[in-house]
């Protein structure tokens, strides 16, 4: 059997009975919804609403709050849209606050156009007085530098507020424009910008409105040109890359996803999961999206 088709079958079996958001979304993607899935979605939304504090956040954490809002949008229904309002409002309140990436200025950063005089709109992940040792996203992708974590967390939050329909806000548009203007990000691989950060920026821009989306062909091509023949990327988590590319409705992105799909299939266990531990379900859901694109693209 074609390895991608086999991977889809295994993923379908893996997600068949899972009472999780990932299971719910996977069954919807596969057309395998169960009669009880509507009740499951309501229960999952209720569970997430109980995690939201009075201020609209999840524990005062930018990434956790953005992820909860993203999950609610995945679960759909009008009740989800209402529930997303407070978390998104809290996220928007974190723009250009103490500790945001690009805050302040030094001679080197000014020369590189990486200070508040050149870019802005970023969300604050931690205050400037707290050093961030590591940030791990729900897919398992991680960065281990303070500035990298602040940057990636802000892109992650930006993706959520764009999906939530906040694209007309001035600071949101400034954030998107800043990502497009970053020096060396879109014409080199590595160096000043770790590939994990480049992909985090692309994942957000994929949800941006016109005219920003007009840059997506070039940005997607940049990622595709740096893909290895086996479908992976140097110094980059393949799942993180695919998670960004599946949201880009362009041939360049679909071709890169289709090339990555067999490599992802090789990472899948007999039981259907991609990886193990706390990130396995999300990584498997990302892989499933890739396999479905590869099946249609072929």
The secondary element (H helix, E strand) that includes residue 161 is helix 146-163
Residue 248 C-beta-side C-alpha neighbours within 13 Å: 32
* DSSP assignments along 90-143, one per residue: HHHTTBT-TT-TT-S--HHHHHHT-STTT---PBPSS-TTS----EE-TTS-EE
pLDDT of residue 76: 83
Q: CA-CA-CA-CA torsion for 84, 90, 96, 101, nearest 10 degrees?
A: -70
Specify the pLDDT at position 298.
65
Q: How many CB atoms lie within 10 A of CB 15?
A: 24
What pLDDT is recorded for position 71?
97
- The greatest distance separating any two alpha carbons of the chain, rounded to the nearest whole angstrom, comes to 61
Distance CA(109)–CA(213), nearest Å, equals 27
Predicted confidence at residue 191, as pLDDT, reads: 86
Please name every residue paired with 123 in a beta bridge, in sequence order, or none if there are none: 95
Could you tell me which residues come within 8 angstroms of residue 222 by beta carbon, excluding any fewer than 6 positions away? 186, 187, 198
Instruction: Give the residue numbers spanning the domain of 252.
Output: 3-297
Per residue of the chain (298 residues), give pLDDT as tens. 799 999 999 999 999 999 999 999 999 999 999 999 999 999 999 999 999 999 999 999 999 999 999 999 999 855 556 689 999 999 999 999 999 998 999 998 888 888 888 899 999 999 999 999 999 999 999 999 999 999 999 999 999 999 999 999 999 999 999 999 998 899 899 888 999 999 999 999 999 999 999 999 999 999 999 999 999 999 999 999 999 999 999 999 999 999 999 999 999 999 999 999 999 999 999 999 999 999 987 6
**Nearest CA to 151 among 202, 111, 76, 186?**
202
Task: Report pLDDT for 209.
Answer: 94
Paired strand residues for 58 = 61
3-state helix, strand, coil in the chain (%, to 5): 60, 5, 35
**Distance (Å, rounded) from C-alpha 137 to C-alpha 27?**
23
Token pair, residue 68, equals: 């909860």
Taking residue 275's Cβ as centre, other Cβ atoms within 10 Å add up to: 18
Handedness of CA 58, 64, 65, 68 (dihedral sign): negative
Domain total of the chain: 1
Contact yes or no for 102/120 (Cβ under 8 A): yes
CATH number at residue 94: 1.50.10.20
- Pairing outcome for strands 135-136 and 142-143: antiparallel
């Amino acid at each position: 059997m074609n390895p991608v088709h086999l991977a889809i079958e295994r993923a379908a079996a893996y997600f068949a009975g899972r009472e999780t958001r990932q299971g719910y979304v996977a069954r919807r993607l596969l057309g395998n919804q169960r009669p009880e899935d509507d009740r499951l979605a309501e229960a999952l939304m209720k569970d997430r609403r109980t995690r939201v504090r009075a201020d609209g956040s999840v524990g005062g954490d930018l990434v956790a709050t953005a992820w909860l809002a993203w999950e609610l949008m995945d679960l759909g229904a009008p009740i989800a849209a209402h529930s997303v309002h407070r978390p998104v409002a809290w996220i928007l309140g974190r723009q250009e606050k103490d500790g945001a990436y690009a805050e302040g200025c030094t001679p080197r950063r000014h020369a590189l156009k990486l200070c508040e005089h050149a870019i802005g709109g970023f969300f604050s992940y931690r205050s400037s007085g707290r050093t961030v040792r590591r940030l791990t996203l729900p897919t398992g992708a991680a960065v281990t530098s303070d500035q990298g974590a602040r940057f990636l967390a802000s892109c992650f939050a930006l993706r959520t507020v764009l999906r939530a329909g906040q694209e007309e806000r001035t600071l949101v548009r400034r954030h998107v424009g800043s990502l497009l203007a970053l020096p060396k990000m879109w014409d080199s691989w590595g160096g000043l910008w770790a590939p994990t950060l480049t992909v985090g920026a692309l994942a957000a821009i994929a949800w941006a409105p016109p005219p920003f989306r007009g840059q997506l062909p070039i940005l997607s091509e940049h990622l595709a040109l740096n893909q290895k023949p086996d479908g992976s990327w140097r110094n980059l988590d393949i799942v993180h890359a695919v998670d960004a590319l599946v949201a880009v409705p362009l041939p360049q992105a679909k071709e890169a996803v289709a090339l990555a799909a067999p490599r992802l299939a090789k990472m899948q266990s007999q039981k259907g999961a991609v990886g193990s531990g706390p990130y396995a379900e999300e990584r498997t859901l990302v892989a499933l999206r890739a396999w479905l694109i590869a099946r249609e693209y072929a």
